[in-house]
Structure formats: C-alpha cells, structure tokens
Structure 1
C-alpha cells in the first residue's frame, strides 16, 4: 500500500502540472510552492536555534494552533515557531500580516517522498505539531526516521474517517506514528482505543482558548462603536446565499437594529443582490463613514470579523446550510448567543449540537423558525440566560493549550 501511495502521488503531481495552465487556482497552488525550499534555507541560515514546527491545513486550524504556540513561547521563548499551510487561502490570509510568536510561515510541499525528506532535512525541527487532521504520510515518516517528536493536537475523529474504515490500515500509520495525540473529546479517545492506540488524552478544544484571548483584547474599531451608538447590533458572520434568504426578511422587519454582515465570499455580485433586496439603507465598509445613517454595513474585507462580535447583541453564523458551519465559538467568546442554519453534517461540527444543549446556540431551518428564535432572544430573561450560558460554556472549556504543553514537556526534553 505504501508503494501504491507513492505511485498515486507521483501520478497526481504530473496531472496537476498538466492541468495548471487551465486553472488559475491550481496554477497558484503549484507556483506558490516553487520557492519554498529557497525561502526555508534563508530562514534556517538566519536562525540556528531550536525550532517548533506547526502544520495546519488552513486558517481554521491555524486559529486552533495559536493558543498552543502562545503557551509554548511562554515556556520556551527562544524557540522559533514555523507554521506550514497546505491551503493557499489559509497561507494568503496570514503571510503578509505580523503574527506574534511566529518566526516563519511557509507552504507544505506536496507529499512526495523526496520533497518531504528534503523539507524535514532543511527545517531540522526539534518538535512537530500537526493540527486536527491534515496528516501527510511521507512527512511524518521523514520525521520519525529522524527521531523527531511528533504530536497531533485538537484531534476530533469520526467513525467514517479513513483511519477507522475496513481499509484504513495505511492511514492509521499516520496516527500510530504520533508520540501523543491530544483529542478534543471523549469520543475521539474511544475511537483511538478501538484501533489499539493508547498514547492519547483529552485536552479539549483549543479554540476556546483562542476566542477567549480575542475577546480579552479585540481591535478597538472606534468608527464601528460610534456608528452603532446605543442601537442593538446583530453581526452576521460568513454569510452565504442560503443564509441571506432567511435573514433578509428578518433584517427588513427590524429597522431599529444595526446589521453588520461579513459575507463568506467578497465577490461584489452577492452583496449587490442582497442590497437590492434589503429595504434598509446599506453601505460597504470600504466606502463608508461612521457618520452615515445606514442601518446595514457590509464588511468587504478579511480580518475584522472576530473583533466585530464585541459590538453584537446577537450573532448569526453562516455556512450551516452549505459546505460547513463557520466558527460559532468566536461570538460566544464575547458572551454573545448565536443563531445558525441547521448543520447538514453534524458529526463534523459537534460544537453546534453542544451549544444547543448549553442553551447559547440556536439552530434554525427556515424563515419562520428564524423569526421565532429571534423573537425569543428579544425577551429579556431568555436572552440573559443565553448570554450566561455562552460565558459559562467558554469559561468551563479553557486551558486546553496549557494541558497540551504541560504533557509535551513531560514527554520531550526539548521544552
């Protein structure tokens, strides 16, 4: 099976390069990796100390890694942190911004044996953390051959994943190679036990640490504060068409609210269409002044959303009806109750069902249920109970990053 994997990766690489001229995204995916080894050499020549390498798939996994990076830096401030991305969307969102505690950001090369071995040999990491699920066989094998400690953090497993299927023996090699696996929940521990893996513990979801940190020191955004004044605010994060079909009638029925909408896609076409259907005056942040009298503000940039929740009385988080629910924990870090569309694949987003059990998350299926839910949350007692639930849920789940680094320090002499 290992040989089959190598042949398949070789063939896929060839096909990708053949198709490159016909796809801008594919061209970017491949071209962005052409200089990664050169840049890696430059970094390593400028820094000769110890290195911790964190690999993430995209932006969401990076957010889960950040609390662990922060705690690691507190314990070992002289250790450089390198973060690798697989996804261009994740990489492009962070590479041009300053990131505290991160010394170098790179792409991960394709999982060809020669490329993986070269990457590990040039980087020479002392500790490695894979985040959640993005595990690559040849990179992990190169690390193990070099006797470098490897950990999987924020792991959240499901029965239908390749690791646990009838033909999962090849993919299980990636799990069995880990020095320790830190899971988000008890179910993941049970699934690991079922395949005979015992070097694991439940640390919890590091996103709680991350959202609490963001809520403790959000961007000030005084122009937003000035605009909202004393009016109640609803922040709609990662809005898709499916979400806006329900939300637009609600928006039109509540002219006394401020509505802040951050679309999932910054393409102007959906925003133009939504604006034409919204009866309240709408503006886009890029051409807006805090003295404007609009009630609806579209955020046509990336990077503001997590701090916008500080102004919210309520939040709606999109994606549940579509490809995947956005992070509902971000608003809850501010003690803000969250409404979201019914999740198509609840096993991928267990926090959705848990938030409903906690009493701070509310799933809706259509326009009528959204109207009913919103009206309930306008009741003072019901709303306050939801706020208290959000605050208590986040508070009770803090500390995952501390638990991870505490265990890693016992397992490795590098900390």
Structure 2
C-alpha cells in the first residue's frame, strides 16, 4: 500500500507540474517549493496547515502558546499557495515554508532540519511519510479541531494505509463525540472532544474588530447584506435579489479577486450605484448614491461582517460552503447553498433556524424575504446565532491544558 501511495504522490506532483504552465496557483505551488531554503532550528513547535482557513482555525492555539511562552520557536508550513502567500510574513512564526512533497527522504530531511519538539496539524492533512518520521523519532503529533465522517477513507475496507496514519497520531482533539466514536470503531482511543478552535478565533475577532471607516461611511446607517467568499453560481442568484430589496445595500466579497473575476461580477450588477472598494479607497468615485460595493482585495472579510445585518456565504454550489462562523460571531443570520452537510457548525446553525440552505432562485427569494423583510425573525435568528458561537468557545484552553 505504501508503494501505491508513493506512486500517487508522484503522479500528483506531475499533474501540478504540468498545470503550472497555464495555472498561476499551480505555478506558485511548484516554484515556492523549488526556491525555498529551509533553515535549521532547534526545539521548535511545528504547526502545519492545509491552507488559509486551517491557519485561522489553528491560530488560537498558536497565539495561546506564544502568550504562554514568549520565547517559543514556531515553524509554520502550508500545503496550498492560498495559505502560504497570505501568511508567509506572519509575525506569529519564526519561519514559514511550503510543506515539501511527502516522500520519505523529504520528510526525514525536513524534520531533521527544523527539529520539532512537537507537531500540531489542524483539522485535515494526513501525510504518511511525515507522520511516520515523527513517530520514528518519538516526536508527539497532535491533530486539533479534527472531525471525522463515516464516508472518509479511514473507515472504508480499502483504507488500511490511512488507518495506519491515524495510529501514528499521539492525540486527537476533535470537534464532536461522533468523531470520537468513529475513531473508537477502528480501535483508536486517543481522542477527546475539545471543540472547534475556530469559535475562539471568531469570537475574539468579533469582540475586538478592526474598524473600517470607509465601510462605515458606505453603510450610512442602512441595512446591508454581505455576500462573503462568493463564486459565480452564488453571484448569479444574488444579483436577482437586488431589485427586490431596494432599501438594502449590498457588499460582495468574492472568493477570487482576479481582474477577470471582478469584471464578470460587475457585469452581473446594476451599473448605477455599484463601486469597487479600490475606487472608494482611492477617491476615484463618490460614495454618495452607491448601493453596491465590490471588495477587490483580500483580508477584509472577517471585519466586514460587523457592518451587516444578513450574510450570504459562498461555495455551497461547489465543493462546500466557506466560513459561516465569521459572520455568525457578529450575529448575522446566514444563507448558503446546498453543499453544507460536511460542516457541523452549518448543520447546527440550520437546526437552530439561524441559517437557511437554498438550492435555487425561488428558495433564495423565500430566505431573503424572511431574513430581510421580517425584522422580528431576523432579531430572533441573530440572538440564536450569537449565543451559539459564544457557547462553543473554549477549545483552545482545553487543548493547551492537554499538550502543555
């Protein structure tokens, strides 16, 4: 099975290499690994994240460790360019790298170079050779904010290699009891329910948000629907709603902000009253009379939600919805597409009637009528979703207590 795994890793590399000739993200993936120089460290704590979302999820643990021990050395690795490129200069880490391809030689060289005291992986990311090398060197490996589902490969008859990877983990800090039970079903008992560290992160952000004066000026005491991390399928549906709610303002923060993507979004929206954030920032267009704002930069979304009343979370017509908790922490009821069942917090929000999943334009119209026109229901949903976030904080403290 390891032989097949090694072939799969190399085929993946080949596919990304070929894609790098015409895909910018694949090019960053290849060139970033090729050009980086990994420096020797001693006695560091190694945090690995798949991408930016996992970084934000594990960030509370990282920050808490830094507070507990100001002299601690931190090495951070990312698998994806979307995490590395945005957080490569984070002051929270002494060094930030792309994770080298998962081969036995790479794993041995990387771990022998950074010499971690412990390794902390967040949610997803299971790499056989890195896990094996950590185990061989008796370096503790922790998974934080893990969550498991029956359909995952670990619980299939053909998943023996992946089950073997899980056996190499020192301890799992998982989000729910169902994950503990699934791990027990394959004879893994080193798991405890700690909760999801994202709740700590978003609650801290909402408790002390970064103010955005231009957004406050745009809001001008009016109600706003904020569409966060949207894709074209989301935007096509949302564009239909604009004329139905003339007393509302709209902020679109698309998941991708390349010029081509922004241009396509702008073509969907009414020409009159629509402005890009860069135009607002550079004073090239007046803010008076604008109803729709398109965010064409990265890093604002988690602070934007403080100015909204309702949020639409993108991604639900693709691989899965993006982060609902950033909006929820500010008390915004949420709407999202049908692909949300893999996300426990989204299922919980729907059950609380503080979030609504939609599959088409008709359902989106019904959801918007309820959350945008019925102030009493919106207030009910806002209180429910705020309490939900607050009640689920505390995972970071639980994890630190256990790993020391």
Scaled by the length of structure 2, the TM-score of the pair is 0.93
- Which segments of 5 or more consecutive residues in structure 1 lack a partner in the other structure? 410-415
- Check conservation: 1:212, 1:394, Cα contact below 8 A: yes
Once the two structures are TM-superposed, the CA of residue 311 in structure 1 deviates from its matched residue by 0.2
What residue number does 1:412 align with?
none
Once the two structures are TM-superposed, the CA of residue 142 in structure 1 deviates from its matched residue by 1.1
**C-alpha distance in 1, partners of 2:265/2:97?**
37
- Check conservation: 2:49, 2:125, Cα contact below 8 A: yes
Query: Compared with structure 1, are the counterparts of its residues 22 and 367 closer, same or farther at alpha carbon in structure 2 (3 Å cutoff)?
Result: closer
**Deviation by residue 1:92-125 (Cα, 9 ceiling, x = unmatched):** 12114xx343222111000111111000000001
**C-alpha distance in 1, partners of 2:172/2:215?**
42
The one of 371, 374, 380 aligned to 1:379 = 374
> Secondary structure of the residue that 1:32 maps to in structure 2?
helix
The one of 306, 311, 316 aligned to 1:315 = 311
What residue number does 2:39 align with?
40
In terms of mean alpha carbon deviation, does 282-291 or 243-252 score higher? 282-291
> Secondary structure of the residue that 1:133 maps to in structure 2?
coil
- Check conservation: 2:218, 2:290, Cα contact below 8 A: no
1:170 aligns with 2:169: no
- Which segments of 5 or more consecutive residues in structure 2 lack a partner in the other structure? none
**C-alpha distance in 1, partners of 2:150/2:260?**
39
Query: Compared with structure 1, are the counterparts of its residues 248 and 80 closer, same or farther at alpha carbon in structure 2 (3 Å cutoff)?
Result: same
**C-alpha distance in 2, partners of 1:88/1:248?**
30
Once the two structures are TM-superposed, the CA of residue 183 in structure 1 deviates from its matched residue by 0.7
What residue number does 2:77 align with?
84
> Secondary structure of the residue that 1:33 maps to in structure 2?
helix
1:3 aligns with 2:8: no
- Check conservation: 1:6, 1:113, Cα contact below 8 A: no
Query: Compared with structure 1, are the counterparts of its residues 10 and 337 closer, same or farther at alpha carbon in structure 2 (3 Å cutoff)?
Result: closer
1:361 aligns with 2:355: yes
**C-alpha distance in 2, partners of 1:363/1:116?**
42
RMSD of equivalent CA atoms: 1.9
What residue number does 1:54 align with?
47
Aligned pairs, number: 398
- Check conservation: 1:53, 1:128, Cα contact below 8 A: yes
> 1:97-108, aligned counterparts within 5 Å?
99-108=90-99
- Check conservation: 1:235, 1:314, Cα contact below 8 A: yes
- Check conservation: 1:252, 1:278, Cα contact below 8 A: no
The one of 326, 330, 333 aligned to 2:329 = 333
Query: Compared with structure 1, are the counterparts of its residues 381 and 76 closer, same or farther at alpha carbon in structure 2 (3 Å cutoff)?
Result: same
> Secondary structure of the residue that 2:93 maps to in structure 1?
coil
**C-alpha distance in 2, partners of 1:151/1:259?**
42
1:29 aligns with 2:29: yes
- Check conservation: 1:319, 1:326, Cα contact below 8 A: yes
What residue number does 2:289 align with?
293
**Deviation by residue 1:155-189 (Cα, 9 ceiling, x = unmatched):** 11111211111011111121111111011111111
The one of 50, 60, 66 aligned to 1:67 = 60
What residue number does 1:229 align with?
220
- Check conservation: 2:38, 2:113, Cα contact below 8 A: no
**C-alpha distance in 2, partners of 1:102/1:363?**
38
Once the two structures are TM-superposed, the CA of residue 195 in structure 1 deviates from its matched residue by 0.1
Query: Compared with structure 1, are the counterparts of its residues 73 and 291 closer, same or farther at alpha carbon in structure 2 (3 Å cutoff)?
Result: same
Runs of 4 or more above 6 Å deviation: none
- Check conservation: 1:266, 1:301, Cα contact below 8 A: yes
The one of 100, 104, 109 aligned to 1:109 = 100
- Check conservation: 1:56, 1:134, Cα contact below 8 A: yes
**C-alpha distance in 2, partners of 1:40/1:362?**
48
The one of 317, 321, 324 aligned to 2:320 = 324
- Check conservation: 2:236, 2:268, Cα contact below 8 A: no
